[in-house]
A and B are shown apart, each in its own frame.
Chain A
Amino acid sequence: MSNPILNGSGLAKHFRSGDKDIEVLRGVDISLAEGEFVSIQGESGSGKTTLLNLLAGLETTDAGEITWGEHVVSSLKINSLAKRRRGFIALVFQSYYLVPEIDAISNVGLGARIAKIDGDWRSRAESLLERVGLEERKHSLPNTLSGGERQRVAIARALAASPKVVLADEPTGNLDEGTGDGIIALLKDLCLEEKVGLILVTHNNIHASLADTKYHLKDGLLHQTS
């Protein structure tokens, strides 16, 4: 594998719930190389989403260091992180989170526009929609698309930002098994084609088994599995 493009070392995070301190992560080390596919499994509430949020710079760490490419980002402020995130990290969510007022192509284009990707966002969005098999539905509003179609739009939106890393948080959680399998295959293929690193958080063993590196999060620590 080449040098890591995303690295987290000694990541710790705790939350307060009433009088109790809950240690969610206790010194997690993780790295992702260009084009690598990493999966993370774990029980509900084990801290998988928290780990993704830390890696995406959406949440601050209690301890540890996060590096995006050459840059240590764990000490940056929210606005600086937002600007660095452009064109580096994109997220895919379980509930898609498409903008309901705009059509599929505009949703995809939004990824490129926010990330300030050079070139015509519309042609990039059209090309990505074609690659996810939705060129016929490009003018459809999200509420007229099926769950699988919405997630494909969300994947295209993530890739429209030309990221180096895609962080996918249970992207098949709301989909049936067959549709979910198709989504993961699509996500994996596209990331491989674009040489984009992919971290997939999933409960699905089959999806997790497709990864180059497989982790299991338990008791706040990340364990590599075979």
Chain B
Amino acid sequence: MPWYIYIALRHLFPKGKRFPFFTAMSITGVALGVAVLIIVPSVFNGFQAEIRRNLADAYGDLRVEARTIINNHRQLTETVLAEEGVKRAVPYAHGMVMMQYANRPTFPLVQGIDVSSDEELDTVASHIVEGDIDDFYDDSVIISTGIATALKLRVGETAMIYNQQLLEQLTRDEVPLPREVEIAAIVETGWYEVDENTVLCTLRFMQELYGLGEGVHGIKAYVESGYDADKVANSLNGKLGIDFWASSWRFANREMLAILEFENRMMFFLLFIILIVSAFSIMSSLLISVIRKTREIGVFSSMGATASQVAACFCLQGVVIGIVGAAFGFVLGFSLIGVREEITSAISNFMGVAESMSEFYGFAYLPIDVQSDDLVRVAILAIIISTLAGIVPAFKAALMKPVEALRSE
């Protein structure tokens, strides 16, 4: 081992019982910065993954739509299913109705779903918070938690649905009769836009409500894992002709996703400042070390050490602090991630906001998504920042004239 590496390590970790206070402080600074840069983006990524999952559940991976009602939806569904990467495609119809219960009206968005698809029913069932998917049939509906709260509706109760066809009956002086529907279940996806104002009914019921006959509004498709919904949608657009277009859930929610991505980047940038602060702590520690060891530097020079070797000795200390700090930061970060539930429940209990997370975020737990790209980025950044922090003291040491270093008090 070259002498300057040996001395760099011994300056950081001296032999004997001397506690390396400066080293400990510098490493702690980097470790805390790295831990925060692991934990916070992972939590953000976890939230985003949950939001994306809910978005994809509600929208499907992609949708094929047309300007008019799609009457030949079976043929279109076959075309979509034939596309490479598409694992499932189901027709849907959607629209707005007035729903009334005990003189309280609301205007939900109604989604007609294909109950012949087990996967479609399973997806709905996975979000049911009250009721049973088995009670879902043509004269029953599933409502979101927002509707249930607004109309004070419970599972098993009956509500009235008024649709646009009733208005047409009025113009013909006919007596409009609303449809009575039973509440089969209540769902919650965690996605505000869906949970606030959604009613699910069977596709057949929706076709009746909107007078669609056998027609539908679109085809909802899901892609195999490993396939990019955007690419599949683009490929479909090349085959469907000008009357139809396919768009991925990502495209449909691009504004929301752009905001999430922007938030993620800004948050990383802000947290990055912690590493900068720890870099200044490293720099000041190493500068103090250079000043304390001025004579030692002079002695090294008198023994034949070159300026670059002296510089390397101090610069390496920054590198080692970065590597060890990043390693401790990883351990600390993953340890805290491992006990995140205990920490969040303790904080919630302490602050008396135990319900707030599920209330506002729709998650009863703290989702985590640790991305290897982020880990590599954080580790490299920590080491680069620590190395840069070591460069200024290293230059100061290297530029010392031996005789002046030896004369220093």
Residues of A that sit less than 8 Å from B by CB: 53, 56, 58-59, 78-79, 82-83, 85-87, 90-91, 93, 95, 97, 99-103, 106, 110-111, 113-115, 141, 161
User: Min CB distance, B9 to chain A, in Å?
Assistant: 9
* A93-B406, A114-B3 known; A141-B304 Cβ under 8 A: no
Contact A101 B302 (CB under 8 A): no
A161 to chain B: which residues have CB within 8 Å?
303-304
Contact A113 B307 (CB under 8 A): no
Contact A102 B304 (CB under 8 A): no
Q: Tell me which of A95, A100, A141 has the highest count of chain B C-beta atoms within 10 A of its own C-beta.
A: A100
- Chain A residue at minimal CB-CB distance from B20: A101
Contact B299 A100 (CB under 8 A): no
Which B288-325 residues have a C-beta within 8 angstroms of A? 295-296, 298-309
Contact A114 B406 (CB under 8 A): no
Contact A101 B14 (CB under 8 A): yes
A141 to chain B: which residues have CB within 8 Å?
15-16
* A102-B15, A103-B15, A141-B16 known; A111-B303 Cβ under 8 A: yes
User: Min CB distance, A124 to chain B, in Å?
Assistant: 14
B299 to chain A: which residues have CB within 8 Å?
91, 93, 97
Contact A90 B303 (CB under 8 A): yes
Indicate with 1 or 0, residue by residue over B1-26, a CB within 8 angstroms of chain A CB atoms.
01100110011001110100000000
Known contacts A101-B18, A106-B10; 11 additional CB pairs below 8 A are: A58-B298, A59-B403, A78-B401, A78-B402, A79-B308, A85-B303, A86-B303, A97-B296, A100-B14, A102-B10, A110-B7
- Chain B residue at minimal CB-CB distance from A161: B303
Contact A58 B403 (CB under 8 A): yes
Q: Complex formed: what's the CA distance from A185 to B402 in Å?
A: 29
- Chain B residue at minimal CB-CB distance from A100: B14
B301 to chain A: which residues have CB within 8 Å?
58, 78, 82
Q: Complex formed: what's the CA distance from A106 to B6 in Å?
A: 10
B2 to chain A: which residues have CB within 8 Å?
113
Q: Complex formed: what's the CA distance from A102 to B3 in Å?
A: 12
Q: Complex formed: what's the CA distance from A93 to B308 in Å?
A: 24
* A78-B402, A93-B406 known; A110-B303 Cβ under 8 A: yes
B308 to chain A: which residues have CB within 8 Å?
79
Q: Complex formed: what's the CA distance from A84 to B314 in Å?
A: 23
* A59-B403, A99-B7 known; A85-B304 Cβ under 8 A: yes
User: Min CB distance, A39 to chain B, in Å?
Assistant: 20
Q: Complex formed: what's the CA distance from A102 to B296 in Å?
A: 13
Contact A114 B14 (CB under 8 A): no
User: Min CB distance, A97 to chain B, in Å?
Assistant: 4
Indicate with 1 or 0, residue by residue over B101-134, a CB within 8 angstroms of chain A CB atoms.
0000000000000000000000000000000000
- Chain A residue at minimal CB-CB distance from B1: A113
8 interchain pairs (CB within 8 A)? A58-B403, A58-B406, A83-B306, A85-B304, A86-B304, A101-B7, A103-B15, A113-B2
Q: Complex formed: what's the CA distance from A101 to B313 in Å?
A: 14
Nearest first, the 7 closest Cβ-Cβ pairs linking A and B are: A86-B304, A101-B14, A113-B3, A101-B10, A58-B403, A97-B299, A59-B403
Contact B406 A99 (CB under 8 A): no
Q: Complex formed: what's the CA distance from A59 to B299 in Å?
A: 14
B300 to chain A: which residues have CB within 8 Å?
114
User: Min CB distance, B19 to chain A, in Å?
Assistant: 12
* Complex partner residue of B304 from A97, A101, A114, CB under 8 angstroms: A114
Q: Complex formed: what's the CA distance from A101 to B14 in Å?
A: 5
Q: Complex formed: what's the CA distance from A141 to B16 in Å?
A: 7
User: Min CB distance, A196 to chain B, in Å?
Assistant: 15
Contact A85 B302 (CB under 8 A): yes
Q: Tell me which of B2, B16, B18 has the highest count of chain A C-beta atoms within 10 A of its own C-beta.
A: B16
B402 to chain A: which residues have CB within 8 Å?
58, 78, 82
Q: Complex formed: what's the CA distance from A115 to B2 in Å?
A: 11
- Chain A residue at minimal CB-CB distance from B304: A86
A100 to chain B: which residues have CB within 8 Å?
14
Q: Complex formed: what's the CA distance from A106 to B304 in Å?
A: 17
Q: Complex formed: what's the CA distance from A103 to B10 in Å?
A: 10
- Chain B residue at minimal CB-CB distance from A99: B296
User: Min CB distance, A116 to chain B, in Å?
Assistant: 8
- Chain B residue at minimal CB-CB distance from A79: B306
Contact B295 A97 (CB under 8 A): yes
Contact A78 B304 (CB under 8 A): no
Contact A79 B307 (CB under 8 A): yes
Q: Complex formed: what's the CA distance from A34 to B355 in Å?
A: 87
Q: Complex formed: what's the CA distance from A111 to B303 in Å?
A: 7
Contact B15 A110 (CB under 8 A): no
B3 to chain A: which residues have CB within 8 Å?
110, 113-114
User: Min CB distance, B178 to chain A, in Å?
Assistant: 87
Q: Complex formed: what's the CA distance from A83 to B406 in Å?
A: 18
B302 to chain A: which residues have CB within 8 Å?
56, 58, 85, 91
* Complex partner residue of B11 from A59, A90, A101, CB under 8 angstroms: A101
Q: Complex formed: what's the CA distance from A103 to B6 in Å?
A: 12
Q: Complex formed: what's the CA distance from A56 to B298 in Å?
A: 12
Q: Complex formed: what's the CA distance from A156 to B295 in Å?
A: 19
- Chain B residue at minimal CB-CB distance from A102: B10
B15 to chain A: which residues have CB within 8 Å?
101-103, 106, 141
Contact A53 B403 (CB under 8 A): yes
B406 to chain A: which residues have CB within 8 Å?
53, 58, 93, 97
* A103-B15, A141-B16 known; A82-B306 Cβ under 8 A: yes
